[in-house]
A and B are shown apart, each in its own frame.
Chain A
């Protein structure tokens, strides 16, 4: 190991620290003497910067604060990219833009924890199909951010029609271990680094069930069954445990640093609690298998995505502190989704399980508020009474928690990022659309102003450029 590499490692560690807060020492050795554990660095750091905004006071609105609170006839004040106050009778500081929101609603920006925008962008041509590295059932070494095309027109639709301000872009589910996710601000940039949420923990995409066994079974290789899925997973986790043990030993005892394995870096990051597992898993019984596997190898599943049967094991998920990430009403589009029901979210909520909506779809991401409305209504008809403002947690604070970002986004608490949507009516109505959307206090969509409507490079000079969408 060259001195140059060691220095670079130290530099990366420091770069990581700058974004992640104070370093947690994993070793008794003084910093700089050892190569840092490679999964703690981010070699593709965010270059996102908040765009400029003006101090803004929105008055006379109904507020869903994103963590269960509601204020009627309320006001929201934000400046310097942060929420300053919410309440009643707030006064505007000098020079503030004041918006009378009579008849309108304000919520935190919508968070979609499961998107493939950028990795499966529009147009959906083969040349842009970059979401599944379908050449090996475990590819923990691939990172979604290296596939994201920041010019995907879908980002603008999610902003303008859906009020979406933060997205987790995941690799697809062809593989048992699909790779790292990336969390992005829904703000166009020339590079993916320019969209990347500063300091957001990485996610790690895993998949249960039909997809991996179908894809690799068709290639005549393992896994071709669900038992094969788990066997390949376990064998891979075992390698990760041994890899991390080598690094732990090196951190403790010194000597030559272990040779680096990019895939095992990611898995070691999971075992170290630094990278959050987002596991595509439809069936209740498979979730239980994954939970046991996670205990065997010492990692935690942050969330099961597409959990159409999560309602069947809501208690098990709660007991294991795992979130359920679900659609409102998708079902029956494959065998493992046959038992989906519209009451899924409501039953999870009733059980006290962390639950949230997601889209997995470039159209659905434009209407996540409507999906929540349907799930809420289904619950009420089943006798599960959930207030509107509590249901809004399914697209704000709960996804923020699943992304490890609840200290920065997901509610309108003072000090949090000013990701704010002004809706032109009740956002749980089919007739409502965003009127204005701010990201970090910058006005990036305004229904009243065609200049505040992003047009991706792809759409320039094409029919429909700059049109309402």
Chain B
């Protein structure tokens, strides 16, 4: 009941608390790649971070939250996922990520489907995930549509940025929808040509298979106003994608997956294309991932690639919350001879500012740098360590409930036996 009241308070309070909050005494993890800062302070006001770090003065009148012995960290930015657009991966009736029956593709705007009361949002929120990258899934086109960045707050306004990116499949997955890799490229070029033509007021798109709405949606992609996230895994596919910049110089490419990225890492770095990698893919689960290794992320980072991680290509059955576990593993492998991992600060950035930066949103979310949205998580220990869990979460400066159906089920069944009344009366 207390949780419900807190939830209601959050709903009524809008996006920000007017009060200034200073979270003091904790180990501060800013999320920008820097190392954790012992005994730091985080100040938030009006839904934004004012300052975070060592020697940050506590403003007069600030409410002080003591985080002694704990960690104060930027909220996790997870994805690519169907967070908020499905009530369970296999529960097809609830799934808004695929639109196989639709004639539209690139124009699809997934933000219209986000349901903030979806249970996975509540679960992931309680595990420190404050923002999620939500993506549609390609069906009848190389283009899946426009993905969104959402928050996991307990309120009715989940969308941080609608139409945050266009999503395209140009590897084996794309080929399986379209027929082949070359056919995928024909479709891509045809669609982008139609977009440019439509922008010029040209009516020659009648010779294209693409709809007017889809062509219009691709114009900001061609003009570099919207990132194009391309899922590819194979080294040769990565190079093909990088070469698209020759035909479309304004394109803002982001590589997703990139399991064989380490093989062509200097070229990715030279192209200044960020990568949101499959976190721990180390199996040749497809022929396009033959060279998979957990050292992929570390090797790309050493080559100068801006790299974040995602839950693509790993089991997502536990939700997005385990993204921190994958980051922790990247630290762990640094201690194994021959393996290339990340230091703690870089690893934490792969699940905070990294994905935000890849989508051009790191000025808004993904770290505790001044001016960012106040997505702050107090953990009872190292946020990447398996024994740790959040004890407090703020999103946009608003304190969040940490309860979910899972905590309710736990409380009901902590003692499995039925009592004087059936379990249904325990609530």
Task: Evaluate contact between B89 and A463: CB separation under 8 angstroms.
Answer: no
A296 within 8 A of B: no
B329 within 8 A of A: yes
Task: Evaluate contact between B290 and A157: CB separation under 8 angstroms.
Answer: no
A190 within 8 A of B: no
Task: Evaluate contact between A433 and B386: CB separation under 8 angstroms.
Answer: no
B19 within 8 A of A: no
Partner of B285, one of A122, A311, A337: A122
B99 within 8 A of A: no
Interface centre among B280, B338, B413, by most chain A C-beta atoms within 10 angstroms, is B413
Task: Evaluate contact between A315 and B295: CB separation under 8 angstroms.
Answer: no
Contact with B along A356-389 (1 / 0, CB 8 A): 0000011110110010011011101111000000
Partner of B332, one of A153, A338, A340, A431: A431
A459-B317 in contact given A339-B409, A430-B386 (Cβ < 8 Å): no
Q: How far is the CA of A312 from the CA of B413 in the complex (A)?
A: 6
Contact with A along B220-240 (1 / 0, CB 8 A): 000000000000000100000
Contact with B along A136-168 (1 / 0, CB 8 A): 000000000000000001100100010000000
A448 within 8 A of B: yes
A217 within 8 A of B: no
Within 8 A of B (CB), among A451-468: 458-459, 462-464, 467-468
A469 within 8 A of B: yes
Chain B residue contacts of A334, Cβ below 8 A: 88-91
Task: Evaluate contact between B88 and A337: CB separation under 8 angstroms.
Answer: yes
B244 within 8 A of A: no
B207 within 8 A of A: no
A363-B315 in contact given A337-B88, A424-B335 (Cβ < 8 Å): yes
A328 within 8 A of B: yes
Task: Evaluate contact between B291 and A332: CB separation under 8 angstroms.
Answer: no
Task: Evaluate contact between A341 and B406: CB separation under 8 angstroms.
Answer: yes
**Taking chain A's interface residues, is the majority helix, strand, or loop, or is none over half, making it mixed?**
loop
Of B25-33, B105-113, B318-326, the one contacting chain A is B318-326
Task: Evaluate contact between A327 and B317: CB separation under 8 angstroms.
Answer: yes
B337 within 8 A of A: yes
Number of interface residues of B (CB under 8 A): 59
A311-B332 in contact given A362-B283, A464-B292, A469-B282 (Cβ < 8 Å): no
Number of interface residues of A (CB under 8 A): 67
Task: Evaluate contact between A463 and B235: CB separation under 8 angstroms.
Answer: yes
Task: Evaluate contact between A381 and B283: CB separation under 8 angstroms.
Answer: no
Task: Evaluate contact between B338 and A361: CB separation under 8 angstroms.
Answer: no
Task: Evaluate contact between A157 and B283: CB separation under 8 angstroms.
Answer: yes
Task: Evaluate contact between A469 and B89: CB separation under 8 angstroms.
Answer: no
A373-B386 in contact given A122-B284, A154-B283, A347-B413 (Cβ < 8 Å): yes
Chain A residue contacts of B321, Cβ below 8 A: 329
Partner of B286, one of A124, A338, A432, A448: A124
B245 within 8 A of A: no
A330 within 8 A of B: yes
A428 within 8 A of B: yes
Partner of A377, one of B331, B389, B409: B389
B120 within 8 A of A: yes
* CB proximity of A371 to chain B, nearest CB, Å: 9
Task: Evaluate contact between A373 and B293: CB separation under 8 angstroms.
Answer: no
Task: Evaluate contact between B414 and A382: CB separation under 8 angstroms.
Answer: yes
A343-B410 in contact given A327-B317, A364-B315, A430-B329 (Cβ < 8 Å): yes
Task: Evaluate contact between A335 and B235: CB separation under 8 angstroms.
Answer: no
Within 8 A of B (CB), among A411-434: 424-425, 428-433
Within 8 A of A (CB), among B295-322: 295, 314-319, 321-322
Chain A residue contacts of B339, Cβ below 8 A: 468
Contact with B along A329-357 (1 / 0, CB 8 A): 11111110111111100010001000000
Task: Evaluate contact between A315 and B406: CB separation under 8 angstroms.
Answer: no
* CB proximity of A204 to chain B, nearest CB, Å: 25
Partner of B416, one of A311, A378, A432, A450: A311
A424-B317 in contact given A123-B285, A312-B416, A377-B389 (Cβ < 8 Å): no
Task: Evaluate contact between B90 and A335: CB separation under 8 angstroms.
Answer: yes
Partner of A311, one of B319, B389, B413: B413
Task: Evaluate contact between B416 and A424: CB separation under 8 angstroms.
Answer: no
Chain A residue contacts of B387, Cβ below 8 A: 373, 376-377, 380, 428
Q: How far is the CA of A331 from the CA of B124 in the complex (A)?
A: 12
Chain B residue nearest to A377 (CB atoms) is: B387
Chain B residue contacts of A230, Cβ below 8 A: none
Chain A residue contacts of B414, Cβ below 8 A: 343, 347, 382-383
Chain A residue contacts of B396, Cβ below 8 A: none
* CB proximity of A116 to chain B, nearest CB, Å: 13
Within 8 A of A (CB), among B358-392: 384-389
Residues on A facing B (Cβ under 8 Å): 122-125, 153-154, 157, 161, 210, 311-315, 327-335, 337-343, 347, 351, 361-364, 366-367, 370, 373-374, 376-378, 380-383, 424-425, 428-433, 447-448, 450, 458-459, 462-464, 467-469
The 6 A-B residue pairs with the shortest CB-CB distance in the complex, in nearest-first order: A430-B328, A334-B90, A464-B291, A463-B291, A330-B317, A373-B386
19 contacts between A and B (CB under 8 A): A122-B284, A123-B290, A312-B416, A332-B123, A332-B317, A335-B88, A335-B91, A338-B88, A339-B409, A347-B410, A363-B280, A374-B386, A378-B389, A429-B386, A430-B329, A450-B338, A464-B290, A464-B292, A468-B295
